[in-house]
Amino acid sequence: MPLFEGVTDVTQPMKIHLIAAARPNFMKIAPLYHALKRQTWAEPIIVHTGQHYDINMSDTFFKDLELPDPNIHLGIGSGSHAEQTGRVMIAYEKVLEKEMPALVVVAGDVNSTMACTIAASKIVYPSSPDRHAGSLRNDNRPIVAHLEAGLRSNDRTMPEEINRIVTDALADILWTPSPDAVENLLTEGVPRAKIMNVGNIMIDSLEMMRKKIECADAINEFGLTKGGYGLITLHRPANVDSPAILSTLCRMLIGASQKTPLVFPIHPRTRKHLDDFGLMDTLRDAKNIILSDPMNYIRFMNLVFNCKFVITDSGGIQEETTYLGIPCLTMRPNTERPVTVDQGTNQLCTIENLQRRIERIVSGGMKNHVVPELWDGHTAGRIVDTIRKLS
């Protein structure tokens, strides 16, 4: 039985909600928004839950992505995991009742991803003769699709892992970024018909903004040369919340900076702990460590494009460095993106082996790597094709 009936034949466009909570989500939905906007049968609507306040979520950011202001803003704000999830569910349920979208697209793995999935999965629209035939499934519910489905770290101490598992269990369509994500879902008993491997949409965003990234001048602003420095980004609690661990990391970074300069845009969470633990002055005094405030995507990626290696605990950077062929040292015991380790440039690191890995890269050592399947900048187009073929 088709999910939609006669999608391409209706006189009214299909109303599609694109859910985003913070900057990484907007990076994922931007290419899809533009691809859908070009279709006469689709009406993409941006829903910003406002879960995170992002210092770089500004007019310039939307301009860079060529996105309009969000059509709907829930204004949820910060809070505990339960508070955020509950507030998003309550607010988005009201939006669903009013808007009655045909398709709800959630992205990534934040609390809003799970909350909107739960709300949309449980809503039942009232029967209405005014609704066009292509807008609903036969049971008067919206379709829920998860963009970036199937990622697993197998570490349930990570809140994101819980969000991923719940979202994938409820969603009707699972758009995966890589074959390993497909295997994860099949192992969990998800029907194969719900899974569609479409590739990594973050690469679409990178390619969409490549010219702006290459034209940015961050590398020259810091007086750096291409391939002549390393880039650091650290913010996860396991790395920055413990005085002992963060102090050891700082010593390691200072030691590594004697081999090559390091640029360290400091996340607000990390800065707070560096100040609280009395470590900020130690980093400032290190001659070859350049400290900066958080950067917008274009300036930061200009540094990524030109660096020798990246030290990180973030998720998306593991993918971008693999695509760009840049060594990535991830300060985590696991990753929900193992394809970046198995096929790409990523290596999972500990405090004990970080120095050795850096020295090997600086001396010219580079692991063999390939760009994973379908990481080609055309993921949004494949997703649009899957939506069009649902009838």
Bridge partner residues of 264 (DSSP): 291
| Size of the chain, expressed as the number of residues it contains | 391
Which is the CATH superfamily of the domain at 7-199+376-388? Answer: Glycogen Phosphorylase B; (3.40.50.2000)
Contact 221, 292 (CB under 8 A): no
Measured CA distances, 175 to 19, 137, 259, 380 (Å): 15, 19, 42, 11
pLDDT (tens digit per residue) in 259-312: 899 999 999 999 999 999 999 999 999 999 999 999 888 999 999 999 999 999
What are the structure tokens assigned to 79, written together?
């809070």
Bridge partner residues of 169 (DSSP): none
CA distance 26 to 41: 22
CA distance 299 to 179: 31
Contact 256, 336 (CB under 8 A): no
CA distance 88 to 251: 41
| CATH code for the part of the protein at 211-362 | 3.40.50.2000
Classify burial at 318, counting beta carbons within 10 Å of its beta carbon; exposed 0-12, middle 13-18, buried 19 or more: buried
Q: Where in the chain is the domain with CATH 3.40.50.2000?
A: 7-199+376-388, 211-362
Contact 25, 145 (CB under 8 A): no
| Type and span of the H or E element at 320 | helix 316-324
Query: Helices marked H in 38-172 — which ranges?
Result: 59-65, 81-99, 111-122, 159-170
Q: What is the DSSP string of 92-107?
A: HHHHHHHH--SEEEEE
Contact 332, 238 (CB under 8 A): yes
Reading the chain (391 residues) residue by residue, the pLDDT tens digits are 344 444 444 568 999 999 998 888 899 999 999 999 999 999 999 999 986 655 455 557 788 899 999 999 998 888 889 999 999 999 999 999 999 999 999 999 999 999 999 999 999 998 653 444 344 455 788 999 999 999 999 999 899 999 999 999 999 999 999 999 999 999 999 999 999 999 999 999 999 999 999 999 999 999 999 999 999 999 999 999 999 999 999 999 999 999 899 999 999 999 999 999 999 999 999 999 999 999 888 999 999 999 999 999 998 999 999 999 999 999 999 999 999 999 999 999 999 999 999 999 999 888 899 999 999 999 999 999 999 986 5
Contact 106, 164 (CB under 8 A): no
CA distance 71 to 54: 18
Residues labelled as active-site residues: 235
CA distance 288 to 323: 28
CA distance 314 to 305: 17
